[in-house]
Amino acid sequence: MNNKFPALRPRRLRKSHSMRALFQETEISLNDFVLPIFVEEDTSEFAEIPTMPGVLRIPESRLAHEIERYARAGIRSVMTFGISHHMDATGSDTWNENGLVARMTRICKNTVPEMIVMSDTCFCEYTTHGHCGVLHDHGVDNDATLLNLGRQAVAAAAAGADFIAPSAAADGQVQAIRYALDEAGFTDTSIMAYSTKLASSLYGPFREAGGSVLQGDRKEYQMNPMNRREAVRESLLDENEGADVLMVKPAGTYLDVISDIRAASRLPLAAYQVSGEYAMIKFTARAGAIDERKVVRETLGAIKRAGADIILSYFAMDIAENGVGY
């Protein structure tokens, strides 16, 4: 009889690289990623985003070249965000069949037809006030915004978008968009809902990237970050309204919410590693405090392990060009 202790030694399965690889539970591949991109109209120059090192605003005239570059690297899906020079009170350019939303989509699909194009469906980058819908009495008019979301969704679908991705945080937005798409004949166009979108402090760099003119905040319509049960409820409401894919945004500080929604729903689940998460890793690595590639792999692994099937991340091109452990 062997009286040596401990008898149970988990380290036996970690003693070599091959052994660790054999028993690794969570895998990350390029198939898991969506690359968010910023496209600016009426300019010919790439623009650096100081708070997001390595991320550039793409001039619309160079978008086709960039999409080809992404495809060669192995990127299979992009989320498009427009930097508009044609703003108004309602963001009406977004439902113009020749507006920036439609043009971005057409360029992507005409250049690389197999690229999955997800059209972010909102108004904050297209309105003079920077809010995500129609303003009325100093607040966002939810139901008037729904009508415009439907218009924008149809314009994007007509241009070839594979996914409509409503991020306006309007109650009933998925149902309104699904109705508008179906009425216009786009029954096969999918909806990836920003179904649990928190009023996070981690969006700051994105707002610089998108040229946000917002004064104030969006707490009236985005979710309270302190509410875990409500976070699940929000996603289940969007599932009931006809969403094809759910999403949690941000990702890294809401792993519990990702896990909760994964347990509550059988729909595919996306998570958005947002600009603030990206910036924290980049700047901390630049300071020499962490190893960027190891932290990227670890944070993405945590998001996947929590239950996300799809990850939207600004690191996607780094991973495509250099591997998950780049």
Furthest-apart CA atoms within the chain: distance in Å: 82
Handedness of CA 20, 306, 254, 195 (dihedral sign): positive
User: What CATH number did the domain enclosing 318 receive?
Assistant: 3.20.20.70
CA gap 94, 303 in Å, rounded: 32
pLDDT computed for residue 135 by the predictor = 84
CA gap 174, 170 in Å, rounded: 9
The question of whether 304 is a catalytic residue gets the answer no
Q: Residues 299, 259: contact at Cβ < 8 Å?
A: no
- Does residue 3 sit within a domain? no
- Does residue 90 sit within a domain? yes
Count the domains in the chain. 1
- At residue 57, the 3 state secondary structure works out as strand
CB atoms within 10 A of CB 9: 10
pLDDT computed for residue 4 by the predictor = 74
- Domain that includes residue 65, residue range: 27-322
pLDDT computed for residue 116 by the predictor = 98
The pLDDT confidence band at residue 216, using thresholds 50, 70 and 90, is low
Helix (H) or strand (E) holding 248: strand 246-249
Q: Indicate which residue of 197, 219, 294, 304 is catalytic.
A: 197
Cα end-to-end distance, the chain, whole Å: 48
Asked if the model's pLDDT at residue 326 lies above 60, the reply is no
Among residues 40, 41, 105, the alpha carbon closest in space to that of 79 is found at 105
CA gap 156, 284 in Å, rounded: 38
CA gap 292, 25 in Å, rounded: 22
Mean pLDDT on 245-260: 98
- Encoded amino acid at 118, one letter: M
> pLDDT tens digit string along 150-190?
999 999 999 999 999 999 999 999 999 999 999 999 999 99
> pLDDT tens digit string along 51-94?
999 999 999 999 999 999 999 999 999 999 999 999 999 999 99
Mean pLDDT on 227-238: 98
Model confidence, pTM: 0.93
Among residues 149, 147, 152, 145, the alpha carbon closest in space to that of 104 is found at 152
Q: Indicate which residue of 4, 15, 219, 249 is catalytic.
A: 249
Q: Residues 93, 126: contact at Cβ < 8 Å?
A: yes
- Does residue 2 sit within a domain? no
- DSSP string for residues in 274-304: -HHHHHHHHHHHHTTSS-HHHHHHHHHHHHH
> pLDDT tens digit string along 255-285?
999 999 999 999 999 999 999 999 999 999 9
pLDDT computed for residue 1 by the predictor = 54
Do strands 77-83 and 33-40 pair parallel, antiparallel, or not at all (unpaired)?
parallel
More confident residue, 302 or 219: 302
- At residue 36, the 3 state secondary structure works out as strand
Mean pLDDT of all residues belonging to the chain: 94
The question of whether 109 is a catalytic residue gets the answer no
CA gap 322, 127 in Å, rounded: 38
Among residues 311, 234, 307, the alpha carbon closest in space to that of 277 is found at 311
Q: Residues 156, 101: contact at Cβ < 8 Å?
A: yes
